[in-house]
Homo-oligomer: A and B are copies of this chain.
Amino acid sequence: MRRTSRDIRTANRYEILRHVITESPVSRPELARLTGLSQATVATLVTELSELGLLVEAGFEDSEGGRPRALLAVAAGRGALVGVDVAETYVHAELFDLSLTVVARADREVRPGENGPEQVVARIADAVDEVLEGHVGRVLGVGVSLPGQVDREGGVSVYAPNWNWHDVPLRALLAERIDLPLHLDNPLHASTVAELWFGAARGRQDAVVVNLGTGVGAGLALGGGLYRGIGNSAGEWGHTTLVLDGRLCHCGNRGCVETYVGAPGIMLNLRELSPGSPLLHPDDQTATVRALAAAAAEGQPVAVKAVQETARYLGAGIADLVNLLNPEVIVLSSWVTTCLGELLLDETRAAVARHALRHSLAGAEIVLSPVPTDPVCLGAATFALEQALAPAPRRTP
């Protein structure tokens, strides 16, 4: 599967724009150094991106005796992107300028039982309408992250275990409500790109982004770029076996990592320790995880024990990633991580150290995501940007 010259051109434009966005302002020689492209190639790509209105000159820097070097920045206001994070319990939409700064936000709740495709499409479209309200100027595209497995080319939600969706043509359904280029992918891939561009994976060769929400998974950044697998399904660490013949999972298997460290799994960990715990909000995983976090922060023994038990499972599962992939950094991300924070991190680090091979772990850091906004919205917006950079496609019949 060799890449065409058009693929390579798109990828190079994307790499240049990525580095201008993340390093801005930056000179052409610096871009050549950062991308490994020749100075001539960088010059051509910068001209193309400037002609597309995406780059501008932003001052000069001294060049040790030579002519001052022009510095480049992204033309932040010359276009906008929308990123949408669709999770099992909520929809977040964010409008970004071309420097990937958030300029508007909208939220919708997805209540239990209201997760049919029509209902989810309505939530997404409402949230996108809201962030675009009053916006003037071109919108390059909308990136939508959906839980589960997504066929990017086809625009199909192949499988969303927590909703029991199979082969839902979501892009076509959304296109009836949103008249902009639409790009689908999943939160593992989106949050991984956010970490690569702006977070803990920046400048790293091999990184794993562990997403803990209702569902869980591990986005893989290998060799400095997002690893997708042959069918765009890489990262389903939530559906790897931690306890053979263990807890039943939505996916039909037993003992999956997700059944121990996803939000419903954490509720079960708590229930097993204390069946009548007042921290348990049946049918509301968000409220339960928040209550657990607050109680653990206060040192309530049952809450602390439930976080430790969760970290024990999580640590064993992360040790599997360390041993198999030998990454430089493991980033913990998504809303369950945000709720449980440092306490979960400390307990998890200790559990990983008990399970992982010493040499495999020696090169690895385990950190909380430093991305200050929703990394899934941010990553989804980069997917829309990537597609917008492709030279005009020749449609094949």
Interface residues of A (CB under 8 A from B): 1-3, 33, 36, 149, 158-159, 205-206, 218, 220, 222-223, 227-237, 239-244, 246, 251, 253, 313, 316-317, 319-320, 323-328, 354-355, 357-360, 362-364
Contacts and interface: CB of A to CB of B under 8 A. Distances in A.
12 contacts: A3-B36, A158-B359, A205-B230, A229-B360, A231-B326, A233-B360, A235-B324, A236-B323, A236-B324, A241-B355, A242-B244, A244-B316
A277 to B, nearest CB: 23
A359 B166 CA distance: 10
A233 B313 CA distance: 23
Contacts of A251: 357
A265 to B, nearest CB: 13
A116 B348 CA distance: 36
A314 to B, nearest CB: 12
Contact of A230 (B246, B316, B327): B327
Contacts of A240: 240, 319-320, 323-324
Contacts of A205: 1, 230
Contacts of A242: 241, 244
Given A206-B229, A253-B354, A253-B355, 4 more contacts: A206-B230, A230-B327, A230-B328, A239-B357
B326 A230 contact: yes
A183 B54 CA distance: 48
Contacts of A231: 326, 359-360, 362-363
Q: Which 6 A-B residue pairings sit nearest by Cβ, starting from the closest?
A: A229-B326, A240-B320, A236-B323, A233-B326, A234-B326, A231-B363
A222 B358 CA distance: 24
A244 B317 CA distance: 10
- A243, A317, A326: most-surrounded residue (chain B CB, <10 A): A326
Contacts of A323: 233, 236-237, 239-240
* Copies of this chain in the oligomer: 2
A238 to B, nearest CB: 8
A110 to B, nearest CB: 23
Contacts of A227: 222-223, 325
A236 B2 CA distance: 29
- A159, A328, A355: most-surrounded residue (chain B CB, <10 A): A355
B241 A316 contact: yes
A165 to B, nearest CB: 12
Nearest to A207: B230
A323 B313 CA distance: 18
Nearest to A320: B240
A229 B321 CA distance: 11
- A1, A222, A229, A327: most-surrounded residue (chain B CB, <10 A): A229
Contacts of A239: 323, 357
- A205, A228, A360: most-surrounded residue (chain B CB, <10 A): A360
Nearest to A228: B326
A253 B235 CA distance: 24
A317 B244 CA distance: 10
Given A222-B222, A323-B236, A323-B237, A149 B328 contact: no
Contacts of A241: 242, 316-317, 319-320, 355
Given A236-B323, A319-B241, A355-B241, A36 B230 contact: no
A324 B241 CA distance: 11
Contact of A229 (B228, B317, B325): B325
Contacts of A236: 323-324, 326, 357, 360
